[in-house]
Amino acid sequence: MTPGRLEVDSATGRITGPAKITYNDPFPTKNGNPGYGAKTMMGLVVHTEVGNDPGTQAWFNNPASAASAFFAVGQDGSIIQFGPVGKDWMAWAQVAGNPMWYSVEDADNGHPPTPFTDAQVAGIAQLAEVLSRFAGFPLAVTDSVSTKGIGVHSMGGAAWGGHYDCPGDVRKAQRPAIVALAKKIRAGGTVTPPAAPRAKAHTTAGLGNLAELAAANNCTPAAILQATAEQGPYPADITQWLDNIFSGAASAVTPMAPGLKLYIPA
């Protein structure tokens, strides 16, 4: 699927166009309230779900959660819209950042270190492009709450709910690719997503850690994780290893078990 430009329906505030888009029932979700949400917005904040869209949607429709977002994007690139754009509606996604920032939750199958799929990059890029065009913020990466662009939940610190690891280093590092694709969508209307980089296989011997492996190959740990994810679903042993890193039981400098098959960007 090649992404094309989306539009904001001026009457309803719904995003429409060449993507698999569904709208929450009820629309908007009751977990939200009148706020800004107009052309004064600073940008789009990227989140990770620690789960998948069905659970996230149920949570956003549960009054007890007191949580929501403008959008969610599945690993297949499908988009759910929870509230209208430009209709004085505010999602409850990042506390002090709610009034001036759009928000997008992104499925990760319960494993935040998993990189965005190519389909997710395309879906997020489509949203970034149309929201940027509508609200006038730049298609650029930002890590500051005072600078417009494509940000992340963690940049808001305690004032944004203290989610210091959201969406995680791997997904945070994919924003330049999202921005680049959004610019191509704007320039050409419909484009083909960039091909996944070529990668070489590496089987761990139990003698080193992820940081050392990345340094030896002139790349970053995030690049190795992304290249591995692009080969298909993580095997159980790699999933367990990533869970240990995400939970704090291990880190990039913890020796890796032997026999893990990773991929390194060529």
Does residue 2 sit within a domain? no
Paired with 80 in beta bridges are 22, 72
Show Cβ contacts of residue 181 under 8 Å, excluding neighbours closer than 6 positions.
3, 121, 122, 125, 191, 193, 194
Residue 72 is inside which H or E element, if any? strand 71-73
16-61 confidence digits (pLDDT tens): 999 999 999 999 999 999 876 666 899 999 999 999 999 999 999 9
117 and 245 in a single domain? The answer is no
217-258 confidence digits (pLDDT tens): 888 887 888 788 777 666 778 777 777 776 777 777 888 888
Give the integer Cα–Cα distance in Å for 114 and 230.
Answer: 10
Does residue 193 sit within a domain? no
99 and 176 in a single domain? The answer is yes
121 and 151 in a single domain? The answer is yes
The model carries a pTM of: 0.74
Residues spanned by the domain of 218: 199-265
Which of 71, 113, 119, 63 shows the shortest CA–CA distance to 252? 113
